[in-house]
A and B are shown apart, each in its own frame.
Chain A
């Protein structure tokens, strides 16, 4: 079975400063890991994904995440926050297996607030 824990329910940063959203996972298999972003009253948009290739994954809008197996972490970072980054962010895990049809497991979300 797999699970994911987002360590902060709410993060506030000033515009132009770095962003760090933390995620730890637990999985019986080598996982696929994802970050999604959700703006108010919108669907979820895929930011980036890790699927056993390079451990440092670059996504859209300047975000990136590093897969660290020893720490079971997949933290999301951005060097400089922009006002448009204010949203809810979800860390998501799915195992890599021979079946490829497992459901994704979602974290409870981190709300990112950008201070002007």
Chain B
């Protein structure tokens, strides 16, 4: 079955440590996205990529980094510069073409990151 796989489901980070969240999709989607979700604040966009080897900052990119070396993969690194990283992180993808109506995102099941 096609879908998006996020791993790990739970992740614990020590102060000053970088951690990487994995996101893999087998939907052949061009675009991929990372969102952060905090209680009562909805979803906030961290980074997105519309094509391999290209990505753009979202609304809250500071303290995060990404790469898009393969169409299927869009890992997110939470660096030590992110002062409040405890949150639920969601990866999404979509198939987008010029002139096409937007058909929405497919989401992964999320990674809960906790600073210990």
Spell out A's residues near B (CB within 8 Å). 9, 32, 34, 36, 41-46, 49, 51-52, 90, 92, 94-96, 98-104, 106-109
Contact = CB atoms under 8 A, between A and B. Distances in A.
Contacts of A9: 40
A109 B42 contact: yes
A44 B48 contact: no
Contact of A43 (B41, B96, B99, B107): B107
Nearest to B91: A43
Contacts of A99: 98-99
Nearest to A51: B101
A101 B103 contact: no
Given A41-B88, A43-B109, A103-B45, A94 B102 contact: yes
Given A94-B104, A101-B31, A108-B40, 17 more contacts: A42-B109, A44-B92, A44-B105, A45-B107, A49-B104, A52-B101, A90-B43, A92-B104, A94-B102, A96-B101, A96-B102, A99-B99, A100-B96, A100-B98, A103-B33, A104-B104, A108-B42
Contacts, number: 71
A49 B107 contact: no
A107 B42 contact: yes
Contacts of A107: 42
Q: Is the interface of B mostly helix, strand, loop or mixed?
A: loop
B85 interface: no
A53 to B, nearest CB: 10
Contact of B98 (A45, A98, A108, A109): A98
Nearest to B107: A43
B50 interface: yes
Contact of B103 (A36, A43, A45, A51): A51
A95 B99 CA distance: 12
B112 interface: yes
A34 B50 CA distance: 20
Given A103-B45, A106-B42, A109-B42, A44 B107 contact: yes
